[in-house]
Amino acid sequence: TEHQHVRYNPLRDDWVLVSAHRVKRPWQGQLEKPPPEDVPRWDPKNPLCPGATRANGEVNPKYEGTFVFPNDFPALQPDAPEPDDNDHPLFRAASARGVCKVMCFHPWSDLTLPLMSLPEIRAVVDAWAELATELGASYPWVQIFENKGAMMGCSNPHPHCQVWASSFLPNEASLEDRSQRQHLSQHGVPMLLEYAEQEARRKERLVVENADWLVVVPYWATWPYETLLLPRRHVCRLQDLSDSERDSLASIMQRLLIKYDNLFEVSFPYSMGWHGAPTGSYLAEDCRHWHLHAHYYPPLLRSATVRKFMVGYEMLAQAQRDLTPEQAAERLRSLPEVHYKKRAE
């Protein structure tokens, strides 16, 4: 806990430098603005609200639950020309096609997932699984991800996520596919299933758990309060979860996100996303090496206004963190599971 060392990340086949003593250094750098507390519940000018008009002129229905629509500014489109042939191996390009969707979690703009009810969160889980099935029928990778908070590049406070389906395996998916395949070949058990069993037994990095799921600060975590959400049963894809596992997933997500908000008593920013076995043509292949999981990457380090920057050494050498995963897990684990905004109720 006091001396620097490096830890191996078997999912990405790389290393992270842990320098726990650096969190004690004085900070005179940038301070972030806390998120606004006065977000209106409904705003006709907000393009994600029920009944609002979006940039392309489409009018949203007056939805009362989840709402999915095509991204008006998609990074991927289903039709695109093939790149020109390259005359040198150092100048390679390949086709990229896909579909981008936006999914609103709730009709109210002043809610976030930890403040939603369990049935409302369960509806989000079901909508994720439906999209994974629908888009995964033809696309090899379906990336469900949520950027929460302006600090993580979110331009709209309305509770929502994005779903991008691509005709190719992105870099992180390819890395995880290769590393998990190699681990199963060498050890005869899926990497993250074995890892979940180890963390459940050791408990030093455990944050929350229930009968079907556990959340840990991974041994190789890069971001200060990064967590990994893992099913206890071997599951390859989100759409493979049973009804009871979806219920318990909604519960453990709510518990984790309440702890996140309680850490600095602020709507906690993060980027999160699901990783599971590839789809499309991979549905006919053996993907037992994959184990479903979700990554949470929050940037805050010391307070609601001091974040971790990935610059300098992190960009030019390797990832580095300023407190140990065990310290982060202990702090998260000790937090109450009643949201700070509801303690006075």
- Residue ranges of the annotated binding site are 22-25, 55, 71-72, 147, 153-155, 162, 176, 275, 293, 295, 308-309, 313-314, 320
Binding-site positions for UDP-alpha-D-glucose: 22-25, 55, 71-72, 147, 153-155, 162, 308-309, 313-314, 320
The C-alpha atoms of residue 44 and residue 54 are separated, in whole angstroms, by: 10
Q: Which residue, chain included where needed, has tokens 């403040």?
A: 115
Could you give the C-alpha distances from 118 to 51, 186, 232, 248, 251, in angstroms and in order?
25, 40, 20, 9, 6
Tokens representing 286?
């053996």
Under DSSP, the state recorded for 85 is P
Binding-site positions for Fe cation: 176, 275, 293, 295
Instruction: Examine the residue annotation and report whether 291 is marked as an active-site residue of this protein.
Output: no
| Catalytic residue of the set 160, 289, 291, 339 | 160
Are 329 and 205 within 8 A, CB to CB? yes
User: CA geometry: angle at 272 spanning 284 and 327, to 5°?
Assistant: 120
Q: Return the H-helix or E-strand segment holding 136.
A: helix 118-136
Each residue of 271-284: b (16+ CB within 10 Å) or e? bbbbbbbbbbebee
- Positions annotated as catalytic residues are 160
